[in-house]
Structure 1
C-alpha cells in the first residue's frame, strides 16, 4: 500500500475537506486531520481504506504549533513524506470590524493563515528533498473581493493567496508546485447556517444560478495534483459559478 503517493489533508473530516479526501483516495494514500468529532472522522477513514490504499486520520489542533510539530514528526516517521499537502483548515467568525473582538480576529487568523504556515514550515524541507510535490491552499473568493462582516476571514484568505504566490517562486526550482483554490458559494455546514434570504440572494447573484458542491473543489485539487497540473504554480483557481466576474 505504501508504494502509492501519500497526500495530507488538514481538516478532512467534513465539508470540502471530506470531499477532497474521498476524491483523492481513488489515486493516493490519504492522511487527514480532524479537531473534533472523532467518530465521524474514523468512519470516513474506515470507509475509504481497502486492499489498494490506506486512509487514516489523526486529531490535531492546527492553531497550536506544538501539536502541528508533533503531528508532522509522527507523519514523517510513520507514513513518510507527503507528495501533497492540502491546507484546508478554515473557519469564519462573522462580525463587522467595528464590533469584532480581538479573540474573534485571532481565532480566524490562527486557523486560516497561521496553520497554513505551520504545516508548510514543518513539511517543506522533506518535500524539497524528494524533489516532487504539491501544496494547495484552500482560500476563498472572499480573499479576492471582500465581504461585509468578514474582514478577518477575507484578510486571512487574501493572505493565503499572497503566500501561495511567494512560496511558489521560492520552491519552484525544487519541483514543488504551490497553488490556491478560491471557492465561491459551496454547499457546506458553513453555508447551511446562512439565512435562506441571504442564501437565495447569493444564488441569484451567481451567473450559473446554483450553489457549488464540495466535489467541484475536490476535482480541481485532483486535477492540480495530476498530470494536468504539471506546469501550473503560483496560481489561484476560482470556482464560484461566475460570482466574482
Structure 2
C-alpha cells in the first residue's frame, strides 16, 4: 500500500512509539489520526502534523466507536491502523506481600490485549468498505507486542501474557481478514527509548543500551516507525510478528 494520501489511525499516538510513527508517516504524506487518552499532547501533535485527534480508551467499546466516528468525520475512514497503546507493570505473581492483585493483571490484559483486539475488530469492519487496490488490498493493521512475549522476565507475567496474546492473535486474524483484503502484522520491539524509559537515570539507560548486541543502543521511535513504513508498503508481508531488538535476548531478570 502506498502511504502518500492514505488515512492512518495510530493508537497511543500522543507519545513514545506512537508519536514517532505519526510524525514519520505524516512526513511521507499520510493523513494521521491520533487516538490517545492524553488530550493535550494528542491535540498538539495532530495540529502540528495537519492530522486529527480523538480521545480514546482502547479497552472501551463505546469510547473506541466514538473516537473512530470522530476521526472518520474529520479525515476519513482508515486505510491502516497502528496499535501502539499499551501499559506495563512490574509485579511478581507471588511477592513478599502475597499474590499479585488480580485487578493489576486484569488491567494490563484489558489495555494491551483486549484493547488491541477491540481496535482491530472495529477498524477492520470499516476497512472492508474501502476500494481495493490492484492487489485487492483494502487495509493494513499493525499491532505492538514485545520481546517479553518470548522472554518474559521475572515480574513481567502480566505484561508478557498480554503481549504473547497479541502475537498469538496475529496469524488467525490475518487468515480471517484475507478474504476482505486486510493484512495483519505485529512488531515485537526490544528496549526502546520511550517516556517510560526516560524515567530511569541516564547511566541505567546507557547500561541497558550496551547490553544490546548490535547496534549497542536503545531503539528509537524512528527505528520502529521505519519498520511500520516497510510493513505498510510491502504487500506480501502478512500474518507475521517481526522482532525489532538488535539481537537482544532477555535474561530471567
Q: Same fold (TM over 0.5)?
A: yes
Whether the aligned pair in 2 keeps the contact of 1:135 and 1:179 (CA below 8 Å) is: yes
Shift of residue 199, structure 1, vs aligned partner:
4.1
Distance 2:74 2:18 in 1: 22
1:30 matched to which residue of 2? 32
Out of 155, 176, 179, which is 2:185 matched to? 179
Once structures 1 and 2 are overlaid, which stretch shifts more, 58-67 or 13-22? 58-67
Q: Distance in 1 between matches of 2:203 and 2:172?
A: 39
Task: Assess if the C-alpha contact under 8 Å between 2:43 and 2:53 holds in 1.
Answer: yes
Paired residue for 1:70? 66
Q: 1:197–1:106: structure 2 CA closer, same or farther, 3 Å change rule?
A: farther
TM superposition shift of 1:120? 1.7
Q: When the two structures are aligned, how many residues end up with a matched partner?
A: 235
**1:220-231 residue pairs with structure 2 within 5 A?**
220-226=227-233, 229-231=234-236
The answer (yes or no) to whether the contact 2:145–2:167 under 8 Å persists in 1 is yes
2:112 is the alignment partner of 1:112: yes
Give the whole-Å Cα distance in 2 for the aligned partners of 1:78 and 1:31. 9
Q: CA deviation at 1:77?
A: 4.2
Q: Secondary structure at the residue paired with 2:81?
A: strand
> What is the aligned partner in structure 2 of residue 213 from structure 1?
220
Of 74-83 and 56-65, deviating more is 74-83
8 A Cα contact 1:72 1:119, kept in partner:
no
TM-score in terms of structure 1 length: 0.89
Query: Which residue of structure 2 lines up, in the alignment, with residue 233 of structure 1?
Result: 238
Aligned residue for 2:94, secondary structure, equals: coil
Which 5+ residue runs of structure 1 have no aligned equivalent? 50-54
TM-score normalised by structure 2 residue count: 0.86
Structure 2 unaligned spans of 5+: 133-137
C-alpha separation in 1, matches of 2:203 and 2:26? 37
SS in 1 for 2:171: helix
**Within 5 A, what are the aligned runs for 1:53-92?**
55-92=51-88
- Contact 1:203–1:210 (CA under 8 A) maintained in structure 2: yes
Deviations 1:72-130 (A, max 9, x none): 23334444320001111001011111142112111111110101111122221221232
* Alignment RMSD: 1.9
The Cα offsets for residues 125-172 of structure 1, whole Å up to 9 and x where unpaired, read as: 221232411000011111122121111111111100111111011112
